[in-house]
């Protein structure tokens, strides 16, 4: 017989000595009894993942029909999306959407226009410095709120963090600021991503509002975070049911594994009193780009599972990405390759490999969400993950045929497992659909209202 007890708050933390707090996964005990039995009633979540410099159409578009699509190419070459085969039932591949908002307003640089319009669907705003070299707006801004923040306005107020922005070498370029940022509360209100997994871990999972000296002293005496909250964990573990106990053990096991990598000797938190020390995960290292990205995705998944936030973003590099994919054997930067892909077969092949690698990262993130049990399903069942790009063709900086991939169905709102061609519609309407998926069905437009025709019915 189950003994009833008061529903736990979704803001319940494990607390221990030294001011340590650890968030918890969403437990059945946190959900009112009327909704605890299934996926319905679980919180919805929204994630944006960005990669730069456009795509290669013949290597991106699936072959076949809407439901019987395949990630193959007639010429037998590498298909960018073939890593998504593992999650094909959970995704929609979209082709044909256009960034029509880019057809007006100030600015002329393709990367400024692409990045500034990508999530806002609004015209750019010129900053005090005006228009600079190559038509960049050195200190300009996107012209409105980005879709992630519009969603956070509606679903982000019940959690400790309204939204969380993760980055992987998404560094601010002071001469090209619009190319460096994608999340905006409004014009000139960009939200900078956290590029250091150690910083993200500290902000999200520990209550460490101290200066570097105090942090170093605390780190020396603290031991494991988990050891400090053991008593609180044991008390909570005795109160909840068997399913919640399994979630708690899996959650704390994941924290232990992450903690060992971050807090070990030479790890980034071990050096937090001396942040310039070249130890552990270096967020500024080109060659550690994959490892930093993996750590950020693990932290994002954990933050969502803890219900610390319901809106998150992951910005891989920036528009005009200078990352050298050395682990793929490349020596030229991503941006340089994107401008040779239409003229050089070797550059084209390398650009396909880069986008294929990003498809692997997207798959890892989606599978991580899918591995978290929630209600009668998984956390992915209640989440939408949107993979975006700021260009169609990276060489020509086109605003047409911009690639989008959607994962998750938001409690059954989206009909996944399909490949869709949606010609002639503005990407504004994709974001109207996102708002509807989050329960905001009163919304009829997003961004420039004269470009919106309403939600994309094809997605449901």
Q: Which positions ≥6 away from 53 have C-beta within 8 Å?
A: 319, 320, 321, 334, 335, 337, 338, 351, 389, 390, 391, 394
Largest CA distance in the chain: 72
Contact 48, 388 (CB under 8 A): yes
Domain ranges of the chain: 1-37+199-282, 38-195+285-459
Phi, psi angles (nearest 5°) of residue 98: -120, 145
Question: What confidence score (pLDDT) does residue 372 get?
Answer: 85
**Beta strands 311-316 and 45-50, pairing class:** parallel
Question: What confidence score (pLDDT) does residue 373 get?
Answer: 82
User: By C-alpha distance, which of 56, 81, 75 is closest to 348?
Assistant: 56
Question: What confidence score (pLDDT) does residue 31 get?
Answer: 58
- The tens place of each residue's pLDDT in the chain, 460 residues long, gives 233 334 555 556 556 555 555 566 666 666 554 333 335 568 899 999 999 999 999 999 999 999 999 999 999 999 999 999 999 999 999 999 999 999 988 988 999 999 999 999 999 999 999 998 888 899 999 999 999 999 999 999 888 899 999 999 999 988 889 999 999 999 999 999 999 988 888 788 764 334 455 445 544 544 455 665 667 777 777 777 887 787 777 777 776 666 665 545 444 333 323 222 223 689 999 999 999 999 899 889 888 887 889 999 999 999 989 999 999 999 999 999 999 988 899 999 999 999 999 999 999 999 999 988 887 889 999 999 999 999 999 899 999 999 999 999 999 999 999 999 998 899 999 999 999 999 999 999 999 999 999 999 999 9
Question: What confidence score (pLDDT) does residue 215 get?
Answer: 47
Question: What confidence score (pLDDT) does residue 251 get?
Answer: 73
C-alpha count within 13 angstroms, C-beta hemisphere, residue 173:
21
Question: What confidence score (pLDDT) does residue 253 get?
Answer: 74
The H or E element that residue 48 is part of is strand 45-50
Give the number of residues written for the chain: 460
User: By C-alpha distance, which of 442, 425, 439 is closest to 457?
Assistant: 425
Residue 395, CA distances (Å) to 333, 341, 353 in order? 14, 7, 16
With H, G, I as helix, E, B as strand and everything else as coil, classify residue 424.
coil
Fold of 38-195+285-459: Alkaline Phosphatase, subunit A (3.40.720)
Question: What confidence score (pLDDT) does residue 14 get?
Answer: 59
């Amino acid at each position: 017989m189950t003994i009833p007890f008061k529903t736990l708050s979704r803001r319940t933390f494990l607390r221990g000595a030294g001011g340590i707090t650890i968030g918890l996964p969403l437990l059945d005990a946190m959900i009112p009894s009327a909704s605890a039995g299934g996926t319905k009633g679980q919180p919805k979540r929204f994630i944006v993942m960005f990669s730069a410099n456009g795509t290669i159409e013949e290597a991106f578009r699936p072959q076949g029909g809407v439901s019987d699509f395949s990630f193959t190419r007639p010429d037998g070459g590498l298909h960018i999306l073939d890593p998504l085969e593992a999650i094909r039932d959970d995704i929609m591949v979209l082709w044909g959407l256009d960034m029509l908002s880019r057809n007006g307003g100030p600015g002329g640089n393709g990367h400024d226009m692409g990045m500034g319009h990508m999530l806002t669907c609004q015209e750019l705003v010129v900053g005090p410095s005006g228009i600079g070299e190559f038509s960049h707006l050195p200190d300009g801004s996107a012209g409105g709120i980005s879709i992630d923040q519009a969603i956070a306005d509606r679903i982000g107020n019940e959690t400790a963090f309204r939204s969380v922005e993760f980055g992987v070498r998404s560094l601010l370029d002071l001469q090209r600021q619009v190319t460096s940022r994608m999340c905006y509360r409004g014009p000139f209100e960009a939200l900078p991503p956290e590029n250091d997994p150690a910083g993200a871990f500290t902000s999200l999972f520990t209550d460490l509002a101290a200066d570097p000296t105090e942090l170093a002293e605390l780190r020396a005496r603290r031991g494991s975070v988990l050891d400090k909250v053991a008593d609180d964990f044991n008390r909570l573990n005795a109160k909840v049911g068997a399913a919640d106990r399994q979630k708690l053990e899996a959650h704390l096991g994941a924290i232990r594994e992450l903690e060992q990598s971050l807090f070990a000797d030479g790890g980034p938190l071990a050096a937090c009193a001396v942040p310039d020390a070249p130890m552990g995960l270096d967020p500024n290292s080109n060659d550690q780009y994959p490892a930093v990205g993996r750590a950020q995705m693990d932290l994002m998944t954990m933050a969502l599972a803890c219900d610390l936030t319901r809106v998150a973003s992951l910005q891989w590099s920036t528009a005009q990405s200078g990352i050298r994919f050395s682990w793929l054997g490349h020596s030229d930067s991503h941006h340089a390759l994107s401008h040779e892909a239409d003229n050089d077969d070797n550059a084209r092949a390398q650009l396909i490999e880069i986008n294929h690698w990003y498809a692997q990262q997207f798959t890892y993130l989606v599978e991580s969400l899918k591995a978290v049990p929630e209600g009668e399903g998984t956390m992915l069942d209640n989440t939408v993950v949107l993979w975006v790009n700021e260009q169609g063709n990276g060489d020509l900086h086109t605003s047409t045929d911009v690639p989008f991939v959607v994962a998750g169905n938001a409690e059954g709102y989206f009909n996944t497992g399909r490949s869709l061609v949606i010609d002639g519609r503005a990407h504004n309407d994709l974001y109207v659909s996102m708002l509807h998926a989050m329960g905001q069905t009163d919304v009829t437009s997003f961004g420039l209202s004269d470009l919106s025709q309403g939600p994309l019915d094809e997605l449901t």
